[in-house]
Chains A and B, each alone.
Chain A
């Protein structure tokens, strides 16, 4: 007798979608717990950590932001291989605002974020018509080009970079600024993509011809998604400038392009929560493996491959499925 796996929604899932939610603590908790968990972890964990791990937490939040920004682009049909462009643009703009114009970090960061998002959008505007790998290749090349331009022309400190940036008012401000922005964007983007506007963005990814056929200018919507993703990426770069007190050529490094993609893929693309979860796993893992020296990248790579092969849907989607459904084996008649 053959068997097949059957997945059935839990009773509480069905009840939570109805009026029962309003009159039962259990159903309310069932709905609230997955939403409250990241908020509680991100807000309450930092004071319990050592200074070193607090810095790791900032790095985690920054990569989570980059991964969210990548996920937004991916859901809108643009596979970016150049999150470093957004990150580096924000980092340099914030550095310039501080170094040349003496702006305070709390002014420089939002300014660099918005300006960075706008500049990145303008840079990629001519290639919005490209699809798939062609768009990806352009995003990969631009940050590499910018590094060479800075090196060759020696602008903005050349290979030395810009140093002596003003720090944020305190370590708690730098920590909670990134974390609060991350939480707001995580829930905000999830809500946006569940709206009709988000449906249009997803529609562009699935079948752009059908969206065009509705009289919608897909390039305008893509530009909006690009601006949002660019602003988020630039924000993370701008914050790091005032954490490291430095903005130089390494901000355009390939790490800032590849790690967010790895985080989104390991965590599960298409949900933003997966991207955040992926970053929350990969960034501390990278730090933990630091102790084993040169083989670190090998172990890191093995870990990535195992996760992608074992859970191709992503960790978040796996956990989500287990939370909402139970599985059982049923016999199938031949």
Chain B
């Protein structure tokens, strides 16, 4: 691809004391691409996302979004530029109904700017968005307190909150974790629909089979370093990846 990348990560590093959580990671991401980030537990995948979204301050390196350095911006400013993320550990506002959990992203200045300065009826928009990610409107699930929802719905709620921000780049941190096969199968068409809408997506996943069905490219991390980057099948053939996942003799 000759187009300028949407996101460029250049020699991004983070160390916590003596632990090198992310070590000189480089990659480009083009518009419309779906990049899978995989690696064993503790390999630095979530830290990488935290560094891109600036929830953690990088020790070294640069992150360029649409050609503009963003590593010095505050997390909320990065969201306003069009990067939305979900969290691995879902922490909704438990006492609020599910649809009320959507009000805060819908209150975002980014949404206000995109819809022309008027928010409109946020409750109605929230219910529409939840229906889009699989909350059956007739079953009144959207009206239940978030604390009473099963994990599958909480993950959908997390995804809906990211979609509400109308981002250009979505970073989904272990969206499928804790879900049954049937629940993952229900989520995949939503991700595919987002791709058809032209969203660029980074997915951190442990569910490789499902990820490889939809990813264009996979980046493999181990001990904070990028050990492979390429098409899913090619990457899994590499010895370094095999040894990271299966261990070396």
- Bound complex: CA A209 to CA B92 (Å): 11
Question: Is A286 located at the chain interface by the 8 A CB criterion?
Answer: no
Shortest distance between the CB of B108 and any CB in chain A (Å): 4
* Complex Cα gap A215–B106 (Å): 10
B181 on the A face (CB < 8 A): no
User: Is A213 an interface position by the 8 A CB rule?
Assistant: yes
B80 interface residue, CB < 8 Å from A? yes
When the two chains form the complex, which single residue of B80, B104, B106, B122 contacts A210, counting CB atoms closer than 8 Å? B104
B93 on the interface (CB 8 Å rule)? Answer: yes
* CB interface residues, A 154-213, toward B, < 8 Å: 196-197, 199-200, 202-203, 206-207, 209-213
Could you tell me the distance between the alpha carbons of A199 and B95 in the complex, rounded to whole angstroms? 12
Q: Which residues of B contact A200 (CB under 8 A)?
A: 103-104, 107
Chain A CB within 8 A of B4 CB? no
A209 to B93, CA, bound (A): 12
Q: Which of B76, B77, B92, B100 has the most CB of A within 10 A?
A: B76
Count A/B pairs, Cβ under 8 Å. 66
Q: Is B232 an interface residue (CB 8 A)?
A: no
Assess whether B199 is interfacial by the CB under 8 Å rule: no
**A215 to B165, Cβ gap below 8 A?**
yes
* A214 close to B79 (CB less than 8 A): yes
Q: Assess whether B75 is interfacial by the CB under 8 Å rule.
A: yes
Give chain A nearest CB distance to B145 CB in angstroms: 13
- Evaluate contact between B104 and A216: CB separation under 8 angstroms: yes
By the criterion CB–CB under 8 Å, are A211 and B75 in contact?
Answer: no
B85 at the interface (CB under 8 A from A): yes
CB contact between A214 and one of B92, B100, B107, B119 (< 8 Å): that residue: B107
A209 to B85, CA, bound (A): 11
Closest partner residue, chain A, to B105 (CB atom):
A214
- Between B96, B103, B161, B165, the greatest number of chain A beta carbons within 10 A of the residue's beta carbon is seen for B103
Docked complex Cα distance between A11 and B23 (Å): 63
Prevailing SS type, chain A contact patch: helix
Does B14 lie at the interface of the complex (its beta carbon under 8 Å from any beta carbon of A)?
no
List B170-194 residues whose CB lies under 8 Å from chain A: none
**Given the complex, which residues of B lie within 8 Å of A214, measured CB to CB?**
76, 79, 104-105, 107-108, 161, 165
CA distance A202 to B107 in the complex (A): 13
The answer, yes or no, to whether A217 is at the interface (CB within 8 Å) is: yes
CB contacts (< 8 Å) of B75 on chain A: these are 212-213
Kindly supply a per-residue 1/0 record for chain B positions 112-146, scoring 1 wherever the CB is within 8 Å of any chain A CB and 0 otherwise.
00000001001000000000000000000000000
A203 to B, closest residue via Cβ: B104
For A197, list chain B residues within 8 Å (CB): 107
* Nearest-Cβ distance from residue B109 to partner chain A, whole angstroms: 6
Q: How far is the CB of A52 from chain B (nearest CB, A)?
A: 44
Given A212-B75, A216-B76; A203-B93 close (CB under 8 Å): yes
- Chain A residues with CB under 8 Å of B122's CB are 196
Let me know if A234 is at the binding interface, CB within 8 A: no
Shortest CB–CB separation between residue B153 and chain A, in angstroms?
16
Flag B76-100 by CB within 8 Å of A: 1 or 0 each.
1101100011010001110010001
- Residues in B neighbouring A73, C-beta threshold 8 A: none
Which residues 159-173 in B have Cβ within 8 Å of A in the complex? Answer: 161, 165
Does B55 have its Cβ within 8 Å of any Cβ on chain A? yes
Whether A196 contacts B103 in the complex (CB less than 8 A), given A207-B93, A210-B91, A215-B109, comes out as: yes
Q: List 17 A-B contacts (CB under 8 A).
A: A196-B106, A196-B122, A197-B107, A199-B96, A202-B93, A207-B91, A209-B55, A209-B91, A210-B87, A210-B92, A213-B53, A213-B85, A214-B104, A215-B80, A215-B110, A216-B76, A217-B74
Please list the 6 inter-chain residue pairs (A to B) with the smallest Cβ-Cβ separation, ordered nearest first. Answer: A215-B79, A215-B108, A214-B105, A215-B80, A214-B108, A215-B110
| Interface, chain A (partner B; CB < 8 A) | 196-197, 199-200, 202-203, 206-207, 209-218
